[in-house]
Amino acid sequence: MSILVVGSVAFDSVETPFGKADDVLGGSATYFSTSASYFTDVSLVAVVGEDFPDEHVAVLEERGVDLEGLTRVPGETFRWKGRYDFDLNQAHTLETHLNVFSDFNPVLPESYRDAEFLFLANIDPELQLKVLEQVKNPKFIACDTMNFWIESKPEVLGELFKKVDLVVINEGEAREFAGEASLVKAAAKIMDGGPRILIVKRGEYGALMFNGPSIFSAPAYPLEDIFDPTGAGDTFAGGLMGYIANTGDITEEGLRQAIIFGSTMASFNVEAFSLDRLKSLTRQEINARFGEFKRLTHFESL
């Protein structure tokens, strides 16, 4: 099976306590599709400007991502500039330039409209809705977002959350959207009339899944060095949704495995700037780290 994703394809400029990178390849859809491509076929919907180099497109091509839905128009590509201090869980946005995304009106290629699995990666929620409306009969829909959209378009996001099966969101953003300090209360509020599953990303502390009455807690992989956390969330979502699209399994057990694949992919991504580590993994490396997660979390019952 395959997955369709809409989100940003971007130039990122990132500063961490360990170094900096200027105008490197980034974007929510870029990280997501590269990560998901290790598990399933991926089709991408996004827009770039005339300044977007072929070598960046080649990164996605080499991962076999279907780029029929990647439009190139006159103007400049989306740009994001961010900084991380020693608390690498917290990205500080310095600049966001939507550029060609400001008036992007996605029209899905005919072959994309039958997608069964859909991921609405972080981008304007109005665009997320426009893509969702064009998919005929999706089996499983998930979305992500960030504070930029929570603060600028909360009503549109509320509308979107009602139409998806799964919301994947950062801890701080879940609290901000719900206006609740308690994560359990925030989850209940987001899920009320909205998605039946919620996954809260907690950076180096892992992820929590709320699935009806069940709660699952997954750790993050304990890495000695984290170089650049940019894209960790999208890479997590790519592993998670790529695995779900591959197996078609949305039982509690299947979702738990998918979260661990998501955490596995995110742990590789933060080991280098941009997609430098993510773009050249092998399935053996991925499966080996998945196995380490099992040892990390396993304990005997009484």
Q: Which is nearer to ligand AMP, 194 or 233 (CB)?
A: 233
Q: Strands of 207-211's sheet, edge to edge?
A: 66-72, 41-48, 2-6, 117-120, 140-144, 166-170, 197-201, 207-211, 214-218
Q: Which is nearer to ligand AMP, 58 or 297 (CB)?
A: 58
Among 6, 16, 27, 173, binds ligand AMP (CB under 6 A): 27
Smallest CA-to-CA distance from 31 within 200, 261, 267, 275 is with 275
Among 13, 28, 35, 128, binds ligand AMP (CB under 6 A): 28
Distance CA 294, CA 251 (A): 19
Among 77, 99, 122, 211, binds ligand AMP (CB under 6 A): 122
Token pair 């209940």: residue: 188
Residues within window 211-250 making contact with ligand AMP, judged by CB under 6 A: 230-234
Residues within window 148-177 making contact with ligand AMP, judged by CB under 6 A: 148
Q: Which is nearer to ligand AMP, 148 or 216 (CB)?
A: 148
Please state the closest distance from residue 73 (CB atom) to ligand AMP, in A.
Answer: 17
Does the footprint of ligand AMP cover residue 8 (CB under 6 A)?
yes
Among 6, 13, 21, 26, binds ligand AMP (CB under 6 A): 26
Please state the closest distance from residue 26 (CB atom) to ligand AMP, in A.
Answer: 3
Among 115, 123, 191, 270, binds ligand AMP (CB under 6 A): 123
Beta bridge partners of 53: none
Residues within window 63-82 making contact with ligand AMP, judged by CB under 6 A: 80
Q: Which is nearer to ligand AMP, 147 or 247 (CB)?
A: 147
How many C-beta neighbours within 10 Å does residue 159 have? Answer: 14
Does the footprint of ligand AMP cover residue 12 (CB under 6 A)?
yes
User: Which stretches of 50-129 are assigned E, i.e. beta strand?
Assistant: 66-72, 78-84, 91-97, 117-120
* 3 state DSSP class of 28: helix
Q: Spell out the long-range contacts of 160-165 with Cβ–Cβ below 8 A and sequence spacing 24 or more.
A: 160/120, 160/125, 160/128, 160/129, 160/132, 161/190, 161/194, 161/195, 162/193, 162/194, 163/129, 163/132, 164/120, 164/132, 164/194, 164/195, 165/140, 165/141, 165/195, 165/196, 165/197, 165/250
Among 2, 96, 134, 247, binds ligand AMP (CB under 6 A): 96
Per CB under 6 A, the segment of 25-33, 37-45, 103-111, 245-253 that binds ligand AMP is: 25-33
Does the footprint of ligand AMP cover residue 33 (CB under 6 A)?
no
| 177 touches 147 (CB < 8 A) | no
Does the footprint of ligand AMP cover residue 59 (CB under 6 A)?
no
Binding site for ligand AMP (CB under 6 A): 8, 10, 12, 26-28, 31, 80, 96, 122-123, 146, 148, 230-234
